[in-house]
Chain A
């Protein structure tokens, strides 16, 4: 058991720095709120629907997914989180999990006790707004997924998701030469897009044929970013990348 290092927290502070500036004191307050870091295997539930978690979880490395299951066993992934993302910051005020969170790949996580978050909300009003912003961003991303699912074709929706994941990875400092990790299986990609396996497979083959991306062994290489954005009708303004006082 140990606390996360500054290096491990870099993606988290980068996601904040893309939208606001925090003081050294606020930075230290966030660092000291961190509980133990843990390594978890792929496919492990971090929080389950109905749980009352006493902590929120921050991803330090790897990828996690929010998901809900329906009666016939079908699974819908409603969010993907990478290093720097809180997977359940909202469980602090909401108390009961209304969905589950599982690791997609092997992950390193840090747990942040709700008591520490409470302390921050009582002592650091600006940091409180920053944390609020982070949960609002989740809502914004959910809205975009809903629009994509409801109004885009499968081809467009898939391209949109790749755009979003690339931009998010870039913010967290996790891209290099247009490459980033997307450790999803095709089934998981289908669960995130709400598409059947066969349709996902076909849509992915069509996307690959455009030569906008390559995706192999969990690594995406962006080949033509302009084309990918156009294919996905992607406009990243919903990610609110403006560094302004919140």
Chain B
């Protein structure tokens, strides 16, 4: 199974995924990213009034992202 790396970008801060997750296909990786975004948005948006959360998928540990899968933002003022 190919390994996918999921970078989480919270506002301007990128947490680079250096371990990755083995998944059957890019479609599965997209689905996982979407679920993770939903999970994490609940936490991030609870503690900040303005936030943007993005997940990018890479297929190489040091490579460029193959796509921005999911992104969400909140603005309350």
Specify which chain A residues have a CB less than 8 angstroms from the CB of B35 in the assembled complex.
Answer: 196-199
Bound-state Cα–Cα, A190 to B43, Å: 16
Query: For residue A206, which residues in chain B have a CB less than 8 angstroms away from its CB?
Result: 15
A240 CB contacts on chain B under 8 angstroms: none
Given known pairs A202-B6, A205-B17, A205-B19, the reply for A197 and B39 (CB within 8 Å) is: no
Q: Say yes or no: B39 contacts A196, CB within 8 Å.
A: yes
B20 contacts across to A, CB distance below 8 A: 201
Partner of B6, one of A153, A154, A186, A198: A198
Measured CB to CB, the closest approach of chain B to A9, in angstroms, equals 38
In the complex, A195→B40 CA distance in Å? Answer: 9
Partner of A198, one of B18, B43, B55: B55
| Docked-complex contact B39 and A154, CB < 8 angstroms | yes
Q: Which of A145-194 contact B (CB under 8 A)?
A: 153-154, 186
Given contacts A198-B33, A198-B55, contact A205 B39 (CB under 8 A): no
Which residues of the partner chain A approach B39 to less than 8 Å between Cβ atoms? 154, 195-196, 199
Q: Which of the residues A153, A154, A195, A197 comes within 8 Å of B21, measured between beta carbons?
A: A197
For B18, list chain A residues within 8 Å (CB): 205
| Contact-residue bracket for chain A | 10 to 19
Q: Considering the complex, give the chain B residue whose CB is closest to the CB of A209.
A: B15
CB distance from B47 to the nearest CB of A (A): 9
Q: Is the CB of A197 within 8 A of B32?
A: yes
Q: Which residue of B lies closest to A153 (CB)?
A: B43
Is B21 in contact with A198, judged by CB distance below 8 angstroms? yes
Question: Provided the pairs A201-B6, A201-B21 are in contact, do residues A196 and B43 lie with their beta carbons within 8 angstroms?
Answer: no
Query: B9-43 CB contact bits vs A (8 Å, 1 = yes)?
Result: 00000010111110100000000110110111001
Compute how far the CA of A154 lies from the CA of B36 in the bound complex, rounded to whole angstroms.
11
Kindly provide the distance from the CB of B24 to the nearest chain A CB, expressed in whole angstroms.
12
A73 → chain B closest CB, angstroms:
12
- Contacts A186-B21, A201-B6 aside, 13 further interface pairs with beta carbons under 8 A come to A154-B40, A196-B32, A196-B38, A197-B32, A198-B32, A198-B33, A198-B35, A198-B55, A199-B40, A201-B21, A202-B15, A205-B17, A205-B18
Q: Which 3 residue pairs of A and B lie closest in terms of their CB atoms, listed nearest first?
A: A198-B36, A196-B35, A199-B39
Ordered by A's residue number, 10 sampled pairs between the chains whose C-beta atoms are within 8 Å are: A154-B43, A195-B39, A196-B36, A197-B21, A197-B23, A197-B36, A198-B6, A198-B33, A202-B8, A202-B17
Query: Which residue numbers of B lie inside 8 Å of A, CB to CB?
Result: 6, 8, 15, 17-21, 23, 32-33, 35-36, 38-40, 43, 55
Q: Which A residues lie at the B interface, using CB under 8 A?
A: 153-154, 186, 195-199, 201-202, 205-206
